[in-house]
Structure 1
Amino acid sequence: MTEFKVGFIGTHGVGKTTLCYGLAARLKARDVVLDIVHEVARRCPLPINERTSLAAQSWILHTQISDELVAAARHPVVLCDRSVLDNYVYLLLSGGRQPGLDAMVSWWLETYDRLIYVPIVDEPRPDGMRSTDVSFQRAVDSRLLKELEARGVEVLRLQPRARDRWLDLAEDEVRAHLDTRQLPLL
C-alpha cells in the first residue's frame, strides 16, 4: 500500500508532466521507490479536449483510478500527472455535473496526500494531442480553481513568478513527508 501519493493538477500545457518527471528523478536519486501515473487522457480512445463527452471522461476517470490503484499496490510513493479532479473538470465544462461521478471524484480526492496546483504561465504548445485554444485552457483552469474552492481541497499553489523554484518546492513538499518517517538516531 502506498505511503504517499501526490497529484500534479492544472489545465493542459502548464508543465505538470515536466514537474512530475523532474520530481521522480530527484526522488529516485535519493533511492525513493516510486511510480508515476501518466496522464491517461492521451490513451483515451474517444475524443477529448473541447469535444470530450461523458463516455470519454468516464473512461479517463476510471482509468486514472485504476492506474493509481496499481501503482499504489506496488510502490510506496506515487506521483500522478493529473488527478481525478482536474480530469473531471473537463467533463464539467462539456456536460455539467454528473452526480455519480461527482461522488466518486469527491471520494477519490481523499486518497491524495498532497495536490500541487500548476498555474498557467504560457500558451499551450502544439503536441498533437491537447488543445492549443487559449480560451479553452483558461476555462479549464478557472473551473478547476472554482472546484478546489467549492470542495475545500487543500493544495500547494505554485506561483507563476516562481517558476524557476517549482521543482524545489514540490521536492520539499514530498521530502518533508518522507523524512518524518524515521527519527534520526544520531
Structure 2
Amino acid sequence: MMPVSPILLLVLIVLASSGFLAGPLRRLSLSERQGIALLGALLLGSLVELPLTPRLTLNLGTGLLPLCFALYLARQMRRWWEPLAAVGGAATGAAALALISLYFPPGQPTELNLYYLDAQYLYAVVAGTLGYAIGHTRPAAFAAAVLGSLGADLYHYLRYVAADQPDLVFRMSGGGFHGTALVAGILALTLVELMQGPAADRPVSPDLPVS
C-alpha cells in the first residue's frame, strides 16, 4: 500500500511554500516559515521509530510530533468546553477504531472490499471525522483526532500484540497507513477549515459584543 502520509506532507510543503496555506497557518498561530519547518520535521521524523518498550515503538514524525503539536494548539483553547470536547472526541474515536479493528485482527487481511483499500484508510477517516464533529474547533478537533488514533493503537497493542504475538514489535502510528494519527489530525483540521472557515476559532471576549 502506498504510504499516504509522506506524500500528503510533501503536497502540504509545496502549498505552504507557494503561499496557499498562509491563512490556515495564521489561524494555527504559525507563520509560513514555521509551518514549512513543522511539515519538514514531520516528514523527516516519520523515518524515526522511538522505542517505548522492547516490543512497542512510537513514530517520531507521525506520532510524537503530532501529539506535541496538539498540546501546542491546546494553548488556543479559549472556551471552557473545548478541553472536554477534545477528550470526548478522543475517547469516541479510540472506541470507534477499537470496534472496527475487531473485523481486522492481526494476521487477517485488512483490505476492504472497495477498490482494495486498506482498513487503515478507514481508521484515519473515522478518527478525523469524529475529531472534527466532536472537537468543533481547530485545537480540539486536531487533539481529538490524534489522541483517538494513538489511543486505538495502544488498545490494539495491548489487546492483540502483547497477549497473542509476543515476538512482534508493534509500531504505534508508524505501520500500515504510515501515520494514521497524523493524517487523521490533518483531515480534522481540513474539515474545520472547509466547513467553518476563519470564524471557527474566533475568541469570544466578555468585553465585546458577540456578533
Verify same fold: TM over 0.5: no
Greater RCO between the two (CA within 8 Å, min separation 6)?
A: 1
| TM-score normalised by L of structure 1 | 0.32
| TM-score normalised by L of structure 2 | 0.29
Give the structure with the larger helix fraction: 2
Larger radius of gyration: 2
Give the structure with the larger strand fraction: 1
